């Protein structure tokens, strides 16, 4: 029996070695010169998955040095063609709808989380209408009203959270910012009723739903895994919460307000159909997760960066005293117009978005063979295209000392990110935007429409914290934690602990 077992093991090992040998021979001897060069890998199917997954940017820069801006790597059996640089961003992010498709890549991952008939579970024309509905809900007056709501949420958190009990202490900044940003996004984007429901139960639901964004779900979104079962239960319950709110509002139409739920309840598709309650609920789930995810990661990085360079915190505080103060050292409540007077605050956010973009890869499925202008390459339909605007943002050719976090690098730079050709994909005229090396919110038809809210949310959160709290590293660390790339949206490795101290003890 033992001999049989050993023989079977030997056959399996021999088979694996043969497959590896054939894989290596194919790469060395049978390259298709009309396709981009393939990054060398030993093991079939697995390919370059581990190198890419551990540190995507290190992988991209290493491959760029060896192969140039265009190369193909194997990601869990799928050939993925990367095109780096501003030309690559243009080629992929502004690709024609008939040639590149986002739904086929992201749909399996997002549909179980966001729900049916929205985002990547509907025709692109319908998605553009939905983006238009949401964009029109983010009006100038709405953004102006958000400032006071966000400031109040942050102040309440500083006053009541055990994490900020006393006059000094230590916090896991990732956990604290996750809570703060779900409160601010919930209150500002979704209204008072939703904010009241952001209790422990809702937080647990959100956490379970968020597990659906694990990278394995690109391949196995419907697998009967424990985190997928929790995801599905959480989605059903969160949809019920939203539909209950919508039904109650329909019973009392005279108490209409200006939040996003009311906005969507008033919207009608081009075919004359009002937006169904189920779709409103699914769009609200999407908005909550999108508004919280990016703000949580970026605000955590801002806090970590400020703790590692406390002198910037004092500059931010003095900027408020100088530009917003009344002369006696006191600071009035924040207002929307104040944001334009806080240039360093704006630059802190811009620099953090440059260095710590939470999305390192933007993918599209190739639908038609795509010739790459200026090259002999044609990308076949069996490939997925991948753009990484974060690579240009981290490139020395555009940003000297690119790896250094330096908000002052923006002090004298002319704004370029919104220049260029304008286009209307169906949700309002926007810039194609890909001529800039700085694209923190993407570009093309899938450019994030919530960027103005993101800036306001981050600016108010950070400004409020800076008014009341000083931050510092407690372990002698000079820099910040490493980046955790194990999730679809990357953030700092957890726990990320920093020290804090009340600026004015007993005055908050």
Q: Between the CA atoms of 412, 414, 417 and 419, what dihedral angle is there, to the nearest 10 degrees?
A: 180
Tokens 């005293």 sit on residue: 321
- Encode the chain (508 residues) as per-residue pLDDT tens digits: 666 555 556 566 676 777 788 777 877 777 788 999 999 888 888 889 999 999 999 999 999 999 999 999 999 889 999 999 999 999 999 999 999 999 999 999 899 999 999 999 999 999 999 999 998 778 888 889 999 999 999 999 999 999 999 999 999 999 999 999 989 988 888 888 888 887 767 778 888 888 888 878 887 888 888 989 999 999 999 999 999 999 988 888 776 677 889 889 999 999 999 999 999 999 999 988 887 878 899 999 999 999 999 999 999 999 999 999 887 778 999 999 999 999 999 999 999 999 999 899 999 999 999 999 999 999 999 999 999 999 999 999 999 999 999 999 999 876 554 555 777 676 667 766 678 899 998 888 888 888 899 999 999 999 999 999 999 999 777 789 999 998 778 899 999 999 999 998 766 5
What whole-number distance in Å separates Cα of residue 240 and Cα of residue 202? 12
CB-based contact 295:450 (threshold 8 Å)? no
What whole-number distance in Å separates Cα of residue 398 and Cα of residue 124? 34
Q: Which residues, in sequence order, are CB contacts of 42 under 8 Å at separation 6+?
A: 20, 23, 24
Which contiguous run of DSSP H or E holds residue 344? helix 343-355
pTM over 0.85: yes
Domains and their CATH numbers in the chain: 122-356+450-508 (1.10.630.10)
């Amino acid at each position: 029996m033992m001999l049989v077992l050993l023989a079977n093991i030997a056959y399996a090992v021999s088979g694996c070695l043969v497959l590896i040998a054939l894989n290596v021979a194919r790469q060395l001897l049978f390259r298709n010169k009309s396709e981009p060069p393939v990054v060398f890998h030993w093991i079939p199917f697995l390919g370059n998955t581990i190198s890419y997954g551990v540190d995507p940017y290190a992988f991209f820069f290493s491959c760029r040095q060896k192969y140039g801006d265009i190369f193909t790597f194997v990601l869990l059996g799928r050939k993925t063609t990367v095109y780096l640089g501003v030309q690559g961003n243009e080629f992929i992010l502004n690709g024609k709808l008939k040639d590149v498709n986002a739904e086929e890549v992201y749909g399996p991952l997002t549909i179980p989380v966001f729900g049916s008939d929205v985002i990547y579970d509907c025709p692109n024309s319908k998605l553009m209408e939905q983006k238009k509905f949401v964009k029109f809900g983010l009006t100038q007056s709405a953004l102006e009203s958000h400032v006071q709501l966000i400031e109040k949420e942050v102040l309440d958190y500083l006053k009541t959270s055990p994490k900020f009990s006393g006059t000094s202490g230590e916090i896991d900044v990732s956990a604290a910012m996750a809570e703060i940003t779900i409160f601010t996004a919930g209150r500002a984007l979704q209204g008072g009723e939703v904010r009241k429901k952001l209790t422990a139960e809702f937080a647990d639901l959100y956490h379970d739903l968020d597990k659906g964004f694990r990278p394995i779900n690109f391949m196995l979104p419907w697998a009967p895994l424990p985190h997928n079962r929790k995801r599905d239960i959480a989605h059903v319950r969160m949809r019920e919460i939203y539909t209950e709110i919508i039904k109650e509002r329909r019973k009392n139409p005279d108490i209409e307000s200006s939040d996003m739920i009311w906005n969507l309840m008033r919207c009608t598709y081009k075919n004359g159909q009002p937006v169904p309650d189920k779709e409103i609920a699914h769009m609200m789930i999407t908005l909550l997760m999108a508004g919280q995810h990016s703000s949580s990661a970026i605000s955590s990085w801002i806090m970590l960066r400020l703790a590692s360079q406390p002198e910037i915190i004092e500059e931010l505080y003095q900027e408020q005293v100088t530009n917003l103060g009344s002369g006696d050292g006191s600071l009035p409540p924040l207002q929307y117009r104040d944001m334009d007077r806080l240039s360093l605050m704006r630059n802190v956010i811009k620099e953090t978005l440059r260095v710590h973009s939470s999305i390192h890869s933007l993918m599209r499925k190739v639908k038609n063979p795509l010739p790459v202008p200026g090259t002999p390459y044609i990308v076949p339909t069996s490939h997925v295209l991948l753009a990484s605007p974060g690579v240009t943002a981290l490139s020395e050719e555009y940003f000297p000392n690119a790896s250094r976090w330096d908000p002052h690098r923006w002090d004298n730079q002319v704004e370029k990110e919104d220049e260029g050709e304008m286009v209307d994909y169906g949700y309002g005229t926007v810039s194609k935007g890909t001529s800039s090396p700085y694209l923190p919110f993407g570009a093309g038809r899938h450019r994030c429409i919530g960027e103005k809210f993101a800036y306001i949310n981050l600016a108010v959160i950070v400004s409020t914290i800076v008014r009341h709290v000083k931050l510092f590293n407690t372990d002698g660390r000079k820099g910040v934690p490493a980046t955790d790339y194990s999730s679809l949206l990357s953030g700092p490795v957890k726990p990320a602990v920093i020290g804090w101290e009340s600026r004015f003890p007993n005055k908050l």
